[in-house]
Structure 1
Amino acid sequence: MLYGACYYPEHREQDRWEEDLQLMNSAKINALRIGEFAWKRFEPEDGGYDFSWMDSFIELAGSYGIQIVLCPPMRTIPVWLSENDPSLHIENHNGDRLEHASRYTFCINHPLLRVKAHALASSMAIRYGSHPQVIGWHLDNEIGDEPDCHCHRCRSKWQQWLEGRYGDIQALNRAWGTVFWSMEYDHFGQIPTPRITKADYNPGFIQAWRHFRSDCNIEVVKLLATAIRPHLGTEGSYITTNSQMPWNNRTDNYEMAEHLDITGTNYYPPYGDRCHANALGLAANRSFKNAPFHVYELRNEGHSIMGASGNTPAPGELERLTMHTIANGADGVFYFPWKRFPFGSEQNHGAITDFDGKPTRIYNECLAIGEKLNEVASFIQGSHVISEIAVLYDFPSRWHVEHPSPWTGDSSLYMNHSNKLYHTVRKLGHNCDAVGRNSDFSAYKLILVPMLPIVDDLLVKKLQRYTDEGGVLVFHPMSGVKNEETRYFNDRLHPGMIDLMGIRTLEVATAGVGHAIDFSWNGQSYSGGLFIELIQPTTVQIEGSFAGEWYEGYPAVTKRSSGEGYCWFVATFAEENFYIELLTHLCSDIGLSPLLNIRPPAEVEITMRQHIDGTKYTFLINASAREKYVELNSSLQDIWNNEVVSGTVSLQPYQVRILRSAE
């Protein structure tokens, strides 16, 4: 298990490297991520590489038992390169050329950038691929975190991509419905990129553009991976990079993961009572390869930002946050950064040590965590978070819903509802994954579908097969309504979805924010809102109905038997209390018990990791500043605190417990 930090030896006087490494060693730091912003130091002038400083640092770090995750950079190029060819700069949708004086301002499709980045990555891999201290290769940084480029090269590549996808221009015209507004094209060379224009672009156009930009990002991953992989000589050396889950939707991470050995992410949730706001991102990361992952940037000290909320960790919160990521499947955690930056754009970013590299309160907490983690890591490492419930997290659907347009509505709805479903499962004491359309559904007994507007025949057949074999699905509005080109199906639903759900959609109704739509289920009243599908049941049981509006009596909740399983449909986006009751009912019906057979108190997180031999480690984490109590049904060994616990167990503010069967 890697316990590390992001470090920038190029920022630090060489005669002070050892001072930093001594502090890291004391804190049981065993790995560093380095190099992602050091292209100019690696290649001071065109073709003239200088790795001597990195040689020295890696050897010195090795003397302290610290391993290296090395980052071949790509998207923060040296100024001499952009000076030689100004066309490297991104041209944004306004037609403005981005300046060099920031990061990620260069076109990833530019042939020169790709040639130079590949050459640098290859040279680094030749030099360090067999180095015993270099255990991992982290491809650039936050790939996809830049504006879309609309330069003439991107336009040409986009047109070639479309021709490869559709083959014939008339096929594209039919797929997108370009007859609308007389937008029919005669050849692919006429198709622009989506720059600023008067009104909305065709939704099929925008959906294809998002697929294209995702593919461009994945090409960068493949480019760097192919430069490095032939030179890996150290057993266990891996290739990875960091996504920005869940706030960055620009790359289909399920597809990108196919080119990585280990997936990684950045994790910057707020502190305080919203500390789990981004937790779905951890579930997604372990689901990309169905394996443990790494957190390559973990927040720590508060940022020096006046007026920022959820920003400052109380004593104990760093331990809670660190172990929360490990509980949810991380086998590596790297704090960002090790030392505060006295200069540059991120000089107010919190860090483990101060501007001069001296220890802080946060360093002391880092040290305490490292000492305890060093004792238990061998037990946990390699274990998996095994879930029987998942949220279907679908990039094509998210792209479509999050396209900013007055015709789309609230672009945050997809993630808001996904989070609501995920957090409800967790509050009930169950593990929960986030799976993609190409994931193995058979691993789950219950899959919650927040919305799924974009479907194709293969996905619908897969959903049908899942229920036929005993799975339970819970659908919501805007599921199965459009094809891959965002074109509505003539009957408002894919024909296979009509059969699967046993309903037909007659029309839709909407409600403004704060306008509650009442409905009943299981003898109780609940509220929903924002969007309502008024349906005609065909072969379903009506489980609940709307009340109090002109559509009173229309079905609000339906259930249809499908093979050995069931398909539920909730015709609005409901309040959390409804999902608590519905999921409690479904878990009881399916035979799913919460972890440790307990429903955790509010603000207490319960998660389980499990080895292939069946050994289980259950994490109890108090996410609040108040003492909490949990009732255990058996005696268990708390390996984090080195004690045996049973009965009523106390959790002090932000306390962590890791439980296994008492020996």
Structure 2
Amino acid sequence: MLYGACYYPEHRDPERWEEDLHLMRQAGLNALRIGEFSWKRMEPAEGAFDFAWLDRFVQLAGNYSIGLVLCPPMRTIPAWLAEKDSNLMIVNEEGVSLEYASRYTFCINHPLLREKSARLAAVMAARYGNSPHVIGWHLDNEIGDEPDCHCPGCKSQWQQWLKAKYGTIRALNHAWGTVFWSLEFDHFGQIPTPRITKADYNPAFLQSWREYRSDCNIEAVRLLAEAVRSQLGDNDQYITTNNQMFWSKRTDYYKMAEHLDIAGTNYYPPYGDRHRVLSFGLAASRSFKKAPFHVYELRNEGHAILGAADNTPAPGELERLTMHTIANGADGVFYFPWKRFPFGSEQNHGALTDFDGKPTRMYAECRRIGERLKTLAPFIAGSQVESDIAVLYDFPSRWHMEHRSAWTGDNGVYERQINMLFLTVRKLGYNCDAVGRTGDFTAYKLLLIPMLPIVDDDLVAKLQHYAEAGGTLVFHPMSGIKNSDACYFPDRLHPNMIRLLGSRTAETATSGPHSPVGFEWEGRQYVGGVFQELVKLETALAMGSFTEQWYKGYPAVTRQWTGKGQTWFIATYAEEAFYTDFITKLCREIGISPILSTSPPEGIEIAMRQQQDGTRYVFVLNGTAETVQMSLPERMTDLWNQEEVQDSFTLKPYQVRVLIE
């Protein structure tokens, strides 16, 4: 278990380093992430490397038994490099060249940036690859968190990328349907990047562009990873980076993870009652490599931002937040940052120590967590989150649904729906995974699909085989409707999706945010909305019907038996109350039990990590400011608080318990 912080020795008088390291060890910290913004200090002038300051800090950290995760920087370049070529700057969609003096304003495809950053990474790895005090390599920071670049270099590379994908311009014209609006291309050199224009771009054009930009980010990770690995030999230093949580859709993190040893993320959820709204990001992070992950930036103290809501942690909330990440699969937690910044853009960011380096209120809580983690870590080492339920997280589908277009409409539906399904499962007391289209569906008994507009033959066949082998699928509107180029199938659905669902979509209907649509299921009334698919049954059974509008009586919930399994279709985006009842009944039918055999009280999170020998660690987290009573099916030991827990116990506000049978 890594317990650490993000530290910036280049900000600090070297004579104060030991003061900071001493406080870190007192708090139980055993790791630091450093270096992602220090290119200028490592290479003050081109080719003139200076690691004397870093050598000293590496040794000092080692003296305090604190391992370092070094970050070869790439996208915050020194002024001397920016001065060499003005074309290093990103050209945004409006055709404006971004200015220096901020971060992430540089084109990651520029040959000079790639050359210099890869060289620096290799030089760092050659110097510290055998250091006993360096435990890992964190590639740059939040790769993909910059505007799309439309510079001449990116335009040329984009055209080459398209040629490699489609082969001929005729094939591209056919795949994209460029005959629409008479936009057929004669050669790849005519294809622009999607800068500001009058009307909407072709969805196929935008789908390829998003895939291309994702590949650019993945290529940057591959470049840095190979530069580091080329110098490491057989040592056990790992390679990672920090994905930008769930809000970023710019990179297919499943593909990026192929170049990493450990997946990493940042995590900045709100405090207060909404503290779990981003928790799907943790499930996604452990899904990228189907393994425990690291949180490389975890919020701690509140930010000094005027009017910021859900921003300031009450006593105990940092402990609850930290253990929330560990309960959901994190094997490493790094607070950002260790010390408040008296200067720079992020000077109002909360921290564990103040501007002068003295401990804040949150430091005391951090220290208490560190003391308890020393006892807990040996127990949970090697354990993972095991789930019978997963939500399908599909980047191509998300890219398509979140295009900015009047023809897309509400482009927040994908994110809301995936969160709705995930949080409903978790509130009911079950573990829940994320899984990508290339993941192992057979690891789960129940697969929830928020929407899946982009499919190909292989994916539909994979879903078919999953159901035939005994799995349960739950589909929603806009699933299986388009090919990989975002063009509709002639029958509104992929041909094999019709067979999988046992129905055809005859028509669609939409409804605004203030016009919910009623439907019934199991004799109870619910509401849905946004988008309804009006289906014609073939072999499926109607299990519920719409009760309003002119399509009253049309199936709202259908069920199709497929081999040993089953496929459900919810023909609208339903309210949470429906999913609570529906998932509860479905889990009971297919033999999935809540972690503690019952749903937890409101505001209580229950998660479970499990060893290969079957040993289970149950995390019970009070996310409320109230004292809550709970019951257990049996007597258990609370490893976190070092006490026995009877069949009934109390959770104080924000209290954490880690139970073992």
TM-score (norm 2): 1.00
2:311 and 2:658 mapped to 1: Cα distance? 27
Q: Given that residues 472 and 567 in structure 1 are in contact (C-alpha distance below 8 angstroms), is that contact kept between their aligned partners in structure 2? A: yes
Distance, in Å, in 1 between the alignment partners of 2:218 and 2:633 is 48
Per-residue deviation, residues 228-252 of structure 1 (Å, max 9, x unmatched): 1122257431000000120000000
Q: Which residue of 2 aligns with 1:540?
A: 540
Separation of aligned partners in 2, 1:14 and 1:55: 12
Moved more, 627-636 or 259-268: 627-636
Specify the alignment match of 1:159 in structure 2.
Answer: 159
User: Cα offset for 1:381?
Assistant: 2.1
AA of the residue aligned to 2:95: G
* Cα deviation digits, residues 142-198 of structure 1 (max 9, x gap): 000000000000000000000000001010001100000010000000000000000
**For 1:496-645, what aligned pairs fall within 5 Å after superposition?**
496-645=496-645
Given that 1:610 and 1:617 are in contact with CA atoms closer than 8 Å, whether structure 2 keeps it comes out as: yes
Matches of 1:16 and 1:25 in 2, distance apart? 15
2:76 — aligned with what?
A: 76
Q: In structure 2, what is the Cα distance between the partners aligned to 1:150 and 1:548?
A: 48
Is the counterpart of residue 42 in structure 1 residue 71 in structure 2? no
Aligned to 2:136: 136
Assess if the C-alpha contact under 8 Å between 1:287 and 1:434 holds in 2. Answer: yes
Aligned twin of 1:253: 253
Counterpart in 1 of 2:105?
A: 105
Q: 1:21 is matched with which residue?
A: 21
CA shift digits 1:467-508 (9 cap, x unpaired): 000000000000000000000000000001000001100110
What is the aligned partner in structure 1 of residue 427 from structure 2?
427
What whole-Å deviation, never above 9, does each CA across 1:519-557 have from its counterpart, x for those lacking one? 000011100001000110100110000012100000000
Q: How does 1:305-324 map to 2 (within 5 A)?
A: 305-324=305-324
Rounded to whole Å, the distance in 2 between the matches of 1:233 and 1:112 is 27
Cα distance in 1, alignment partners of residues 446 and 235 from structure 2: 38
**Counterpart in the other structure of 1:194:** 194
Give the whole-Å Cα distance in 2 for the aligned partners of 1:291 and 1:572. Answer: 33
CA distance in 1, matches of 2:258, 2:65: 31
What corresponds to 2:243 in structure 1?
A: 243
Q: Does the CA contact (< 8 Å) of 1:263 and 1:285 recur in 2?
A: yes
SS in 1 for 2:485: coil
**Percent of aligned positions with the same letter in both sequences?**
66
Where 2:408 maps in the other structure, the secondary structure is: coil
- Equivalent residue for 2:415? 415
Q: How does 1:266-305 map to 2 (within 5 A)?
A: 266-305=266-305
- Aligned residue number for residue 225 of structure 1: 225
Q: Partners of 1:180 and 1:632 in 2: how far apart?
A: 63
- In 1: Cα distance, 2:266 partner to 2:316 partner: 21
Q: Secondary structure at the match of 1:442?
A: helix
Could you say which residue in structure 2 is the equivalent of 1:362?
A: 362
Does residue 1:342 correspond to 2:342, yes or no? yes
Which residue identity lines up with residue 457 of structure 2 in the other structure? Answer: D
Contact 1:556 1:570 in 2 (8 A): yes
C-alpha contact (below 8 Å) 1:240/1:262 kept by paired residues: yes
Deviation at 1:615? 1.1
**Secondary structure in 2 matching 1:585:** helix
1:328-353: CA deviations, max 9, x gaps? 00000000000000000000000000
Question: How far apart in 2 are the matches of 1:650 and 1:496?
Answer: 52
- Superposed displacement of residue 631, structure 1: 0.7
Matches of 1:281 and 1:66, distance apart in 2:
28
Query: Could you say what secondary structure the match of 2:480 adopts?
Result: strand
Q: CA deviation at 1:614?
A: 1.2
Give the partner amino acid of 1:185: F
Q: Distance in 2 between matches of 1:294 and 1:388?
A: 23
Question: Which residue pairs with 2:212 in the alignment?
Answer: 212
Instruction: Give the distance between the partners of 2:564 and 2:235, measured in 1 at CA.
Output: 45
> CA–CA distance in 2 between the matches of 1:357 and 1:610?
39
Q: Deviations over 1:193-222 (max 9, x none)?
A: 000000000000000000000000000010
Instruction: Tell me how far apart the structure 2 counterparts of residues 629 and 198 of structure 1 sit (CA, whole Å).
Output: 60
Gapped runs of 5+ residues in structure 1? none
Q: Residues 597-628 of structure 1: CA distance to partner in whole angstroms, max 9, x if unpaired?
A: 12111100000000111111000000000111
1:84: Cα distance to partner? 1.2
CA drift at 1:646: 1.6
State the 1:514 CA deviation: 1.9
**Deviation per residue, 1:28-67 (Å, 9 max, x gap):** 1000000000000010000100011000001001101100
Q: State the distance in 1 between where 2:271 and 2:152 align.
A: 44
- Equivalent residue number for residue 119 of structure 2: 119
Regions of 4+ moved over 2 Å: 233-236
Q: Which letter maps to 1:30?
A: N
Q: Distance in 2 between matches of 1:90 and 1:250?
A: 16
Q: Which residue of 2 aligns with 1:86?
A: 86
- 1:589 maps to amino acid: E
Structure 2 SS opposite 1:596: coil
User: Does residue 436 of structure 1 match 2:432?
Assistant: no
| RMSD across aligned positions (CA) | 0.6
Aligned to 1:451: 451
- Structure 1 distance, partners of 2:55, 2:613, is 41
The 8 Å contact of residues 135 and 234 in structure 1, kept in 2 or not, is answered as no
Q: Which amino acid aligns with 1:330?
A: A
Cα distance change of structure 1 residues 404 and 120 upon mapping to structure 2, 3 Å threshold: same
Distance 2:209 2:8 in 1: 36
Q: SS at the partner of 1:69?
A: strand
Write out per-residue CA displacement over residues 421-463 of structure 1, whole angstroms, 9 at most, x where no aligned residue: 0000001110000100000000000000000000000000000
Structure 2 match to 1:3: 3
* Residue aligned with 1:421, SS: helix
2:404 is matched with: 404
Are the equivalent residues in 2 in contact too, given 1:37–1:76 (CA < 8 A)?
yes
AA matched with 1:625 = A
Instruction: Give the Cα separation in 1 of the matches to 2:225 and 2:128.
Output: 14
Whole-Å separation in 2 of the counterparts to 1:302 and 1:404: 33
Match of 2:489 in 1: 489
Quick one: which amino acid aligns to residue 440 of structure 1?
D
Query: Displacement of 1:586 after TM fit?
Result: 0.5
Q: SS of the residue aligned with 1:597?
A: coil
Q: CA deviation digits over 1:123-146, x for unaligned, max 9?
A: 000000111110000000000000
- Identify the residue that residue 391 of structure 2 maps to in structure 1: 391
- Partner deviation per Cα, 1:222-278 (whole Å, 9 max, x = no partner): 000000112225743100000012000000000000110000000000000000011
| SS of equivalent residue, structure 2 residue 384 | coil
For 1:481, what is the secondary structure of its paired residue? coil
Distance in 2 (alpha carbons) for counterparts of 1:196 and 1:642: 61
- Distance in 2 separating the partners of 1:401 and 1:649: 45
User: What is the one-letter code of the residue matched to 2:199?
Assistant: A
Q: Secondary structure at the match of 1:224?
A: helix
| Contact 1:417–1:450 (8 Å) recurs in 2 | yes
Please say if residues 391 and 447 of structure 1, whose CA atoms lie closer than 8 Å, have aligned partners that are also in contact.
yes
* Runs of at least 5 residues in structure 2 that lack an aligned partner in the other structure: none
Shift of 1:649: 1.2
Q: Aligned partners of 1:75, 1:198: CA distance in 2, in Å?
A: 32
Cα distance in 1, alignment partners of residues 15 and 101 from structure 2: 29
Higher mean C-alpha deviation, range 247-256 or range 228-237: 228-237
Query: TM-score when scaled to structure 1?
Result: 0.99
1:262 aligns with 2:262: yes
Which amino acid counterpart does residue 259 of structure 1 have in structure 2? H
| The 10-residue stretch of structure 1 (250-259 or 233-242) with the greater mean CA deviation from structure 2 | 233-242
How far the C-alpha of 1:360 sits from its partner, in A, is 1.0
